[in-house]
Structure 1
Amino acid sequence: MLILPMERTFDITRPPLVTWLLILFNCVIFVWTSIGDSRRLDQIAEAYSRLDILPQELPVYQSYLQQSGRFDSPLLTIKHPEQLSIEDQHQIAVAMLVDADYQPYASQHLPEFVDYDKPILASRSRILSDQVSGLSWNRFGFIPVQISALTVFSHQFLHGGLEHLLGNMIILLLVGMTVEQLLGSVNYLIFYLFSGAVGALFFGLLNWGSPSALVGASGAISGVMGMYVAAYGHRKIRFFYFIGIAFNYFRATALLILPVWIAKELFDLVFSDAPVAYAAHAGGMACGALLVWAGRNSWARVNQQIIENRDDEADYREQLQQALQAVTQADFVRAKKIFWRLAKLHPLSHRVFFQLYHLEKVCPDNKAFHLAASGLFRASLADGQFGVSEQAMLKEYWSLAQPHPQIPATLLSKILVKLLTSGQPALAEKMFAEAVSMKILSDVESNELRRDFARFFAHNNPETAKKYSNP
């Protein structure tokens, strides 16, 4: 089950540089450690093969796997490792030597299988101490049996494979960009690292004394998810879910999802055998949410302007979708009700008034038709969309309106000037003459428009300019 907050994509005018740098740094570290570890693993396999003890040690490791309940391991099916290819033998050797939990078992049971051959056992120990310990996850991973101030942070930049890296970085990209803009880059980076550290310590507490290394950014990224819902608090936001093969979006109160996330991680911690650090996820998530929630009025202030803008946009999108759906269902009464509600909240929304114009024009003598047309032309002028399609609707409105056009005089004056400057002087003159005859324009507005017409025609049509100069 996957539930991700998806309230809105990031605003490119406020680039989330820290998120991008974290992703870049994680990728660079992965490439660097992968190259070094690959070379070291080859050296480990070759050094181990020279000891020639694989046939003796594999039964010990198989016994350990069975006692650990790892019955699905393909190594349990191997009976004669000496008959395998050199490459397969190397892979088995590496699997045994890098399994930190196995080493105490091996030190206790392996001697009797190699007849207590001290030089061989000493050589094997040197491989562990000199080479296996030099692997990146053993040097910089978080190991509960040897906690250090370095590894509670350094483990966050290591990953166990390309799939592990990509999964974490995709989620960081989707969630981190929004959180960085909400909290600011400095707080975001500090909280990110601190959440990862707390997640590791919680993992260490539940796995006290374990020699296995924890690696990955998932604890810190879980902290970012906790920050996300804490920043939005009791507001409803959009979430994406993926369960089995089902996926979709839903809206829910942000903070209500936090206990669902944490409960899911704790459930998996108890009942899942997957090699995933669920404890680190739960610890990091709780830490990130607590940092933002506790400091929301002081040291962790959230950019409320971004949240409120996003709330407005989310509500606008949701209501617009409902209205359009009502149109497709031919429920025009409901559609108009929603569109007019949106028109009050968004008086310059070209899309809303475009829909209202077409819904209301079936009753050209209705006041709503005149209001919708006025709103459409006002929005068109405001956003610079007074083009061919808007001019066509203006002509249509002018011919349909009953008992006559009822566009407010100030708006009509702006429309006529716009027609003059957009290559439609004939239409502007026609509408001006009709508006004067229908007394839509006052004497003051008529005189002002005459001066505008005179100035416009002064250079290219002096005769027409005289007409407006001397009415």
Structure 2
Amino acid sequence: MPLHRRLGRANFPWVTAALILANCFVFFALQSGDERVAERAFDYYRQTGLERIEFPAFTDWLHSRSGDAQTLQVMQHAPDELKLQLLQADADFLAALHADRVIDLAREDYADWHQKRAEFDRIWSSAFTERYELRFSEIDPARLFGAMFLHGGIGHLIGNMIFLAVLGLLVEGALGPVLFLAVYLAGGLGAGLVSLAWRWGEHGAALGASGAIAALMGAYCVLWGVRKVRVFYWFFVVFDYVRVPALWLLPFWLGWEVLNLLLNRGAHVGFDAHAGGILCGALLALGVRRAGWERQDFMAEDERAEQRNDNVARLQQALQHLGKLDIAAAQELLQQVDRDEPGQLPALVALYRCARYAGKPAELDVAARRVLTFDARRGDELRELKAVYDDYAKACDGAPRLSADLLLRLAQSWLRIDLDADAQTLLDTLAAQSPQPAGLDAAWFGFAQRAAENTPQRRARLEFILHQFPQSNFARKAQFLLDQT
């Protein structure tokens, strides 16, 4: 069983949820009265004596047809409820019965039987399940479609819905809602047709969403192909998960269904529909892949997550090497992390430390610039940048080899974490340079406004703007603020 993705707003499977709700609605609302209808129909059938007329007639009918030995054997030993279900599931017998080719018109009780049979048909046909379950040896589009939303009991429903939820989250994400719904319905119809082909000539009925869900299993295997996926498995009391290519699951799942179909015919489980659904889903997914309609980004998420986990382990290992001053080993691991996930701050800082310990100024400058140009958003990231800057400035004897634009950006970053004194040092340095970086006047004006109103500190900063940037728009703003004090 494939392990599901973490559910979120971005990947919420809306169609899968709608299908689950539809199946539950059909079972709890539309099928809820079927058991009472069946009981009422059987009671009427037995009380009116229809069983004494029709059961022998059905047995004679089976004797006259080849290939009905199994049904004939069941009719000899099964309880009356099952006999009635078999009789009602034989579309050919019912057609002959209603065409007066089974009960002799010359019988004295024919009129009485005919009246009672008509009333029984009315009661029996009022059951929702009976109108839409898939009948073997009968092709009916409404039954092929409707049977996908019927279930034989609460356990049947819950089991199917669990698999639908797990597989739906994965396959809907890979196909998108519209294509997913098309594959689900087409796969379910295909599973029903395969079941009819396998059981043609038999008598009985089938229902359940498992054929359509099996189509999702086949589609999952083909869509992910040779990508490795996490699969949960169990064998008696042993259970664990393993990563295998998704395509490996296809012969395993299909083989299991075919094996049970051949060896476990009395299980009353639609192994034929399951196998047909897997095949149909696989073929549909193959067509989707040929057309290039699958969502590659969604399917690659597992690989990216695995890569992230591997890189976390590599980073920890590299830090251990750094602690032992094994610079070459640490650099090799960190460069691999940086290739897989460029621009990750922990890896950039660690690479800076490698360059610092190696004592190579050219490598140190490059490593420092990569860290200090990182787009830090959080306070902890900004403080990490500040620590690297301080260390780099020390290595450069107080004159870091950085561009004026980068120094201005760093000054603004120090203000964001309330390091006003450090920011002013950089702003003073930049003000003494020629040419000055663009935006320095705006930075100084913002710095001035950080001081409390009507304080000597704020006045000094505003006067500095007037003196240093006399032609700037911010000089006029500074003069206006000074005039207000």
- Is the structural similarity TM-score above 0.5? yes
Aligned with 2:2 (options 1, 4, 11): 4
Distance 1:159 1:331, change over 3 A: farther
Structure 2: state its 5+ residue gaps: 52-69, 95-108, 452-457, 470-485
The aligned residue for residue 32 of structure 2 is 35
Amino acid at match of 2:310: Q
Checking the alignment, whether the CA contact within 8 Å between 2:229 and 2:246 is kept in structure 1 is yes
CA distance in 2, matches of 1:442, 1:269: 86
CA distance in 1, matches of 2:365, 2:159: 54
How far did 1:215 drift? 0.8
Computing the radius of gyration from Cα coordinates, the structure with the larger value is 2
The reply on whether 1:187 has 2:179 as its aligned counterpart is yes
CA distance in 2, matches of 1:234, 1:442: 61
Distance 1:51 1:245, change over 3 A: farther
How far did 1:169 drift? 2.0
SS of residue matched to 1:146? coil
The aligned residue for residue 81 of structure 1 is none
CA distance in 2, matches of 1:198, 1:390: 55
Matches within 5 A, 1:164-243: 164-243=156-235
* 1:47-93 C-alpha deviation (Å, 9 max, x unpaired): 36646999xxxxxxxxx99967xxxxxx99xxxxxxxxxxxxxxx76
Distance 1:453 1:126, change over 3 A: closer
Checking the alignment, whether the CA contact within 8 Å between 1:141 and 1:215 is kept in structure 2 is yes
- Count matched residues: 422
SS of residue matched to 1:347? coil
SS of residue matched to 2:164? helix
CA distance in 2, matches of 1:146, 1:393: 73
The aligned residue for residue 301 of structure 1 is 293
Aligned with 2:15 (options 15, 18, 27): 18
How far did 1:417 drift? 1.0
The aligned residue for residue 270 of structure 2 is 277
Distance 1:255 1:417, change over 3 A: same
The aligned residue for residue 103 of structure 2 is none
Amino acid at match of 1:4: P
Amino acid at match of 2:340: L
* 1:198-253 C-alpha deviation (Å, 9 max, x unpaired): 11121222222232211111111111222223223333333333443444433332
Structure 1: state its 5+ residue gaps: 55-63, 69-74, 77-91, 108-117
Matches within 5 A, 1:8-407: 8-9=5-6, 12-13=9-10, 16-44=13-41, 46-47=43-44, 50=47, 94=81, 97-98=84-85, 129-132=121-124, 134-272=126-264, 273-298=266-291, 301-308=293-300, 310=301, 313-320=304-311, 322-323=313-314, 326=317, 337-350=332-345, 352-353=347-348, 356=350, 363=357, 378-379=373-374, 381=376, 384-385=377-378, 387=379, 389-401=380-392, 403-404=395-396
Checking the alignment, whether the CA contact within 8 Å between 1:417 and 1:452 is kept in structure 2 is no
How far did 1:97 drift? 4.1
Checking the alignment, whether the CA contact within 8 Å between 2:414 and 2:422 is kept in structure 1 is yes
Checking the alignment, whether the CA contact within 8 Å between 1:364 and 1:400 is kept in structure 2 is no
* 1:72-120 C-alpha deviation (Å, 9 max, x unpaired): xxx99xxxxxxxxxxxxxxx7656644669999xx9xxxxxxxxxx899
TM-score, scaled to structure 2 = 0.69
How far did 1:179 drift? 2.5
Checking the alignment, whether the CA contact within 8 Å between 1:319 and 1:338 is kept in structure 2 is no
CA distance in 1, matches of 2:20, 2:381: 46
CA distance in 2, matches of 1:213, 1:17: 31
The reply on whether 1:420 has 2:378 as its aligned counterpart is no
* 1:400-457 C-alpha deviation (Å, 9 max, x unpaired): 5562486854544322212224432123234667xx5xx9x99468655753542223
How far did 1:264 drift? 1.7
CA distance in 1, matches of 2:316, 2:139: 57
Moved more, 211-220 or 13-22: 13-22
Checking the alignment, whether the CA contact within 8 Å between 1:23 and 1:169 is kept in structure 2 is yes
TM-score, scaled to structure 1 = 0.71
Larger relative contact order (CA 8 Å, sep ≥ 6): 1
